[in-house]
């Protein structure tokens, strides 16, 4: 069983790369594998030109200063027995950053930067709203001054009225600190707003990868087409026909042979019983589908 299999992409400095797909397709697993919170069983993870798959635990711990994650459920990611100040200062203490006075000053600076104030430092996580809890999670991730953040569905557990505030905050911080993001979401509208390039994932494999404009205007893979057809349209926008996928998502324990999407694809043919490779069909536009172009590999 491989929840994530043969996935390949790169993220540039200062880029927001979007990863989209249905729940259970392996997006969060991939994010944790990149940080080695889950150990990969093969392939290569390269960060800043350095292969990190087999780094000793201490080297990996030091490297994680530059690689942080913001989780989907903000409350579950915060220690309920610590105050916000203790939560904020713990990473700095773990890495021996700053003295006690400077840690407190840095903590106050960061919580104010994410829209909280000094009074919140004495609170416990359960005393904060969901949006405030996620702001703490963001501030904590920034406390080590990372260069790369994985955002794992950072707004899906929040009220709709708060989601836009958190997204605007993340965009503001990305620009201010020149951060690189891997933005994981099932929300294609949100992915389109935030990301420069987008990959669509299904059952642990990337089905399509392209610049967002190319992906939305020249969608190639039937799975991506189905995802896009489900996005609500404004009255003035062109309304395409909604694509209703047949069947249900196969179990990761019993995957179809060949293309993993073929059992639900409206265009499935005999050739789809063999596995397609992710190949280039237009400049920087890659698709894993036998029905589109030649097999010019991503690698």
**Higher-confidence position of 296 and 261:** 261
**Does residue 222 contact residue 261 with C-beta atoms inside 8 Å?**
yes
| pLDDT at residue 295, rounded to an integer | 47
% residues pLDDT > 90 (the chain): 65
Cα–Cα distance for residue pair 244/180, rounded to 1 Å: 35
Give the chain's mean pLDDT: 89
126-164 tens-digit pLDDT: 999 999 999 999 999 999 999 999 999 998 888 888 999
Helix (H, G, I), strand (E, B) or coil at 66: helix
172-228 tens-digit pLDDT: 999 999 999 999 998 888 898 999 999 999 999 999 999 999 999 999 999 999 988
| CA of residue 19 relative to chain centroid, distance | 5
| pLDDT at residue 243, rounded to an integer | 79
**Does residue 91 contact residue 140 with C-beta atoms inside 8 Å?**
yes
**Which band of pLDDT confidence, cut at 50, 70 and 90, is reported for residue 233?**
low
**Does residue 192 contact residue 216 with C-beta atoms inside 8 Å?**
yes
**Does residue 190 contact residue 205 with C-beta atoms inside 8 Å?**
no
| pLDDT at residue 92, rounded to an integer | 93
**Does residue 28 contact residue 182 with C-beta atoms inside 8 Å?**
no
In sequence order, what are the beta bridge partners of 286? 209, 280
Q: Is the pLDDT of residue 258 over 70?
A: yes
- Any idea what DSSP says for residue 297? B
Q: Which residues contact 166 (CB under 8 A, 6 or more apart)?
A: 131, 134, 135, 138, 154, 155, 158
**Which band of pLDDT confidence, cut at 50, 70 and 90, is reported for residue 288?**
very high
- CATH of region 16-195: 3.40.50.300
**Which band of pLDDT confidence, cut at 50, 70 and 90, is reported for residue 2?**
low
Highest mean pLDDT range out of 163-167, 231-235, 246-250?
163-167
Cα-trace Rg, the chain: 21
List, as one string, the DSSP characters of 252-296: TTSPPSSSTTTTT-TT--GGGGSPPP-EEEETTEEE--TTSS---
| pLDDT at residue 235, rounded to an integer | 44
73-94 tens-digit pLDDT: 989 999 999 999 999 999 999 9
pTM: 0.89
| pLDDT at residue 160, rounded to an integer | 85
Cα–Cα distance for residue pair 135/166, rounded to 1 Å: 8
Q: Give the Cβ contact number of residue 159 at 10 Å.
A: 10
Cα 229 to Cα 184, 216, 233: the distances in Å are: 19, 10, 9
- Residue 214 tokens read as 């190319």
Q: Is the pLDDT of residue 236 over 60?
A: no
96-111 tens-digit pLDDT: 988 999 999 999 999 9
Cα–Cα distance for residue pair 239/229, rounded to 1 Å: 9
Q: Is the pLDDT of residue 238 over 70?
A: no
Q: What would the mean pLDDT of 257-263 be, rounded to a whole number?
A: 91
Q: Which parts of the chain fold into alpha helices (H)? A: 27-34, 57-63, 84-94, 100-113, 130-142, 160-177, 188-194, 212-217, 222-229
* Domain locations along the chain: 16-195, 221-299
| pLDDT at residue 297, rounded to an integer | 41
Cα–Cα distance for residue pair 162/141, rounded to 1 Å: 20
């Amino acid at each position: 069983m491989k929840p994530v299999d043969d996935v390949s992409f790169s993220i540039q400095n200062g880029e927001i790369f979007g990863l989209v797909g249905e729940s259970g397709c392996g997006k969060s697993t991939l994010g944790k594998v990149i940080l080695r919170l889950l150990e990969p069983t093969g392939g290569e993870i390269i960060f800043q030109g350095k292969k990190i798959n087999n780094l000793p635990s201490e080297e990996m711990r030091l490297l994680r200063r530059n690689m942080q994650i913001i989780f989907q459920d903000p409350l579950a990611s915060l220690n309920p027995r610590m105050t916000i100040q203790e939560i904020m200062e713990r990473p700095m203490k773990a890495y021996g950053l700053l003295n006690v006075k400077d840690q407190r000053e840095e903590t106050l600076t960061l919580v104010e930067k994410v829209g909280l104030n000094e009074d919140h430092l004495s609170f416990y996580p359960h005393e904060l709203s969901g949006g405030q809890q996620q702001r703490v999670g963001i501030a904590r991730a920034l406390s080590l001054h990372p260069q790369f953040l994985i955002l794992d569905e950072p707004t899906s557990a929040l009220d709709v009225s708060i989601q836009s505030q958190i997204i605007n905050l993340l965009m503001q911080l990305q620009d201010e600190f020149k951060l690189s993001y891997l933005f994981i979401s099932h929300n294609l509208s949100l992915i389109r707003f935030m990301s420069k390039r987008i990959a669509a994932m299904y059952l642990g494999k990337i089905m399509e990868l392209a610049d967002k404009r190319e992906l939305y205007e020249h969608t190639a893979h039937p799975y991506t087409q189905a995802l896009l057809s489900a996005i609500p349209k404004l009255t003035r926008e062109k309304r395409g026909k909604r694509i209703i996928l047949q069947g249900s998502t196969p179990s990761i324990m019993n995957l179809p042979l060949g293309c993993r999407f073929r059992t639900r694809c409206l265009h499935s043919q005999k050739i789809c019983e063999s596995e397609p490779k992710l190949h280039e069909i237009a400049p920087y536009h890659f698709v894993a589908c036998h029905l589109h172009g030649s097999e010019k590999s991503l690698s």
